[in-house]
A and B are shown apart, each in its own frame.
Chain A
């Protein structure tokens, strides 16, 4: 049984249908990547899983239906969503950003969690008392991921983590994601425009085009697929 199962999902913004009959399955421990051009509906898919968008169809997490949940309930159930554009609390310090994500936990659990985040994202430790709004894009991305990790999620939803970041920093962050997956068994659903990077990280990938799933398969297979290469990898 997959950790996350999306079946025949339609998603709507108001009366406009943005996703059509989308199905995705994410196995425990896997990294699944959703590729596609701008406007294909990738972000919408993640928002639908988190309950931010009106849907029709079934979304199951850990065997239980979560479509129709309030977003905070889905988050509490173990789905950590790192939104597009980071969404850090720009008026809070780095440490406060991390602490608030574990607001219901005990003091000991919180400091342990924060330490673990700093272990993975070393630069954040140096800036722990800085206001998050003053951080660079890469640092904010680390903070956003770290914040989601504070919830001890079973599944991490990442929305375009490479957006607006220099290649070096992106590589760095993707390396950390790789480690998180290997060492902490964090399952990931990754939405990315940077297809080559995503396919290198992922074990499985799907391609969305104008709200429809058009291709699915193991990442290495997709990496060598003619159409994918021409459309998304540029060669």
Chain B
């Protein structure tokens, strides 16, 4: 993955712990994007293949605002809000009309979104690689003997905070309760007076916001360009496969595991090198699925006859 390649140029010694540390940082990004997928999946029982592109769009928007001179954290917050609205609107306009129709229609719409947003990004911002600023800098920091990139530390910190907030939202508030109930049984939720259309839209909004956060944090290392998220996509999917599509925690743990695994395998296993890294990650995923189809944390769905 480009991220790793971009970073190694500055650091000489690749210790095991270092690989693990940077694996955690990339992994938490995979996990966050994966979590965005899980949120949408729980809301609409669909894999929104365009999730990454929406995140990329949000990241580009942030870049433009930053280019206008607005302070980083203000832009951060603004783009979270904008992506939330964007995700909600996309659901309302394109997905809600397909409620009850075959899931193939939804697949096509998400694919169309992927193509369309990618084309939009290319059109508005061009295909060049762009530098994306980070408030944490990109200096090596010595943490108990392990050299970690300062941006990675910042990434872990920010995402950890965001995820804690998300957890509190889901587990401790009425809105969270409503979201969870709707995800578990949409018809029952409707029957107790929950406007599930709105609720699912909120789920999409949250997922889009989370994706944008992941994108903003990934951009300084991966370089901002329209194809950025498409590269991340398989890793995020590997993360949720490992963790289980029904488990938010699983997505994160899965992501971190994938990040670490990717780094270790890419570095230590000779013939795999950098170019077969991705297929190996995916092979790992396939193997996990064989023995535990619901992932490490997911729950097996039992069909009642």
Contacts and interface: CB of A to CB of B under 8 A. Distances in A.
Interface of A: 50, 52, 70-72, 75-76, 80-81, 83, 85, 87-92, 96-97, 99-101, 103-104, 147-148, 150-151
Interface in B165-189: 174, 177-178, 180-181, 184-185, 187-189
B184 A89 contact: yes
B191 interface: yes
A130 B272 CA distance: 48
Contacts of A70: 190, 195, 197
Contact of A87 (B174, B178, B180, B188): B188
B109 interface: no
A70 B181 CA distance: 18
Contacts of B196: 72
Nearest to B177: A100
Contact of A89 (B174, B185, B193, B197): B185
Q: Which of B177, B180, B184, B191 has the most CB of A within 10 A?
A: B191
Given A89-B180, A89-B181, A92-B180, A101 B187 contact: no
15 contacts: A50-B191, A52-B187, A70-B197, A72-B190, A72-B193, A75-B192, A88-B185, A88-B188, A89-B189, A100-B177, A100-B178, A100-B192, A101-B193, A103-B174, A103-B194
A3 B202 CA distance: 35
Main secondary structure of the interface of B (DSSP, over half): helix
Contacts of A104: 193
A230 B195 CA distance: 44
Interface residues of B, number: 19
A71 B192 CA distance: 9
Contacts of A71: 187, 190-191
Contacts of A97: 181
Contact of A83 (B178, B191, B304): B191
Nearest to B179: A100
Contacts of A76: 193
Contact of B184 (A52, A72, A92, A150): A92
B192 A147 contact: yes
A153 B146 CA distance: 62
Contacts of B180: 89, 91-92
B191 A89 contact: no
B193 A99 contact: no
A81 B196 CA distance: 16
B177 A87 contact: no
Given A76-B193, A88-B188, 17 more contacts: A71-B190, A83-B188, A87-B185, A87-B191, A88-B185, A89-B181, A89-B184, A89-B185, A89-B189, A90-B184, A92-B181, A100-B194, A103-B177, A103-B194, A148-B191, A148-B192, A151-B192
A99 B185 contact: no
Given A70-B195, A72-B195, A96-B177, A89 B188 contact: yes
Contacts of B194: 72, 100, 103
A71 B100 CA distance: 14
Most-contacted residue by chain B among A75, A76, A100 (CB, 10 A): A100
B165 to A, nearest CB: 20
A88 B178 CA distance: 13
B184 A91 contact: yes
Contact of B181 (A72, A100, A151): A100
Contacts of B195: 70, 72
A75 B190 contact: yes
A151 B184 CA distance: 19
A157 B2 CA distance: 58
A76 B192 CA distance: 8
Contacts of A52: 187, 190
A214 B195 CA distance: 36
Contacts of A147: 192
A91 B180 CA distance: 8
A184 B187 CA distance: 27
A175 B158 CA distance: 55
Contacts of B185: 87-90
A100 B182 CA distance: 10
